[in-house]
Structure 1
Amino acid sequence: MRVLSTKKLSEKQKSQVEGFTIDEIPMIRITYGDDFALEENIINAVFTSANSVRAVFENRPENCKWFHTVFCVGKKTKQLLEGYGLTVEVIANNALELAEVLAQRFSEQDEGIKEISWFCGNLRNNDLPIIMAENGVLVTEYLVYKTEFIPKALEVDYDAVLFFSPSGINSYLKKNQANSNPVVCIGNTTASQAIEFFDNVYMAEETTVESVLDKVKEILV
Structure 2
Amino acid sequence: MKNVLSTKLLTPGQKTILNDAGINFQEYEAINIHYQEFQLTTDFDYFIFTSQNAVRAFINHNSNFHTKKELGKECFCVGGKTKLLLEQNGHKVVKMAHNGAELGSFIVKNHKKASFLFFCGNRRNDDLPNILTKHKVHFKEIVVYKTELKPQHFSEHFDGILFFSPSGVKSFTMSNEVGNSTVFCIGDTTAREAALFTGSIIVADTPVVENLLKKVTLHYNLSIKK
Calculate the TM-score normalised by the size of structure 2.
0.89
Aligned to 1:152: 152
- 1:65 CA drift (Å): 3.5
Structure 1 unmatched runs, 5+: none
RMSD after superposition: 1.9
- 1:164 CA drift (Å): 0.1
Aligned to 1:184: 184
Percent of aligned pairs with the same residue?
Answer: 38
> Amino acid of the residue matched to residue 53 of structure 1?
V
Residues 118, 139 of structure 1: 8 Å contact kept:
yes
Residues 180, 199 of structure 1: 8 Å contact kept:
no
Structure 1's consecutive aligned runs of 4 or more residues displaced over 2 angstroms after TM superposition are: 36-42, 58-65
What is the DSSP-based 3-state SS (H/G/I as helix, E as strand, rest coil) of the residue aligned with 2:45? strand
Matches of 2:173 and 2:40, distance apart in 1: 37
Residues 153, 176 of structure 2: 8 Å contact kept:
yes
Aligned to 2:35: 32
Structure 1 residues 36-185: aligned runs within 5 Å: 38=40, 40-58=42-60, 65-66=69-70, 67-107=72-112, 109=113, 114-185=114-185
Aligned to 1:213: 213
Aligned to 2:201: 201
- 1:160 CA drift (Å): 0.3
Calculate the TM-score normalised by the size of structure 1.
0.91
- 1:196 CA drift (Å): 2.3
> Amino acid of the residue matched to residue 44 of structure 1?
Y
Residues 187, 203 of structure 1: 8 Å contact kept:
yes
- 1:33 CA drift (Å): 2.3
Matches of 1:159 and 1:74, distance apart in 2: 28
What is the DSSP-based 3-state SS (H/G/I as helix, E as strand, rest coil) of the residue aligned with 2:74? strand
The number of aligned residues is 215
What is the DSSP-based 3-state SS (H/G/I as helix, E as strand, rest coil) of the residue aligned with 1:123? coil
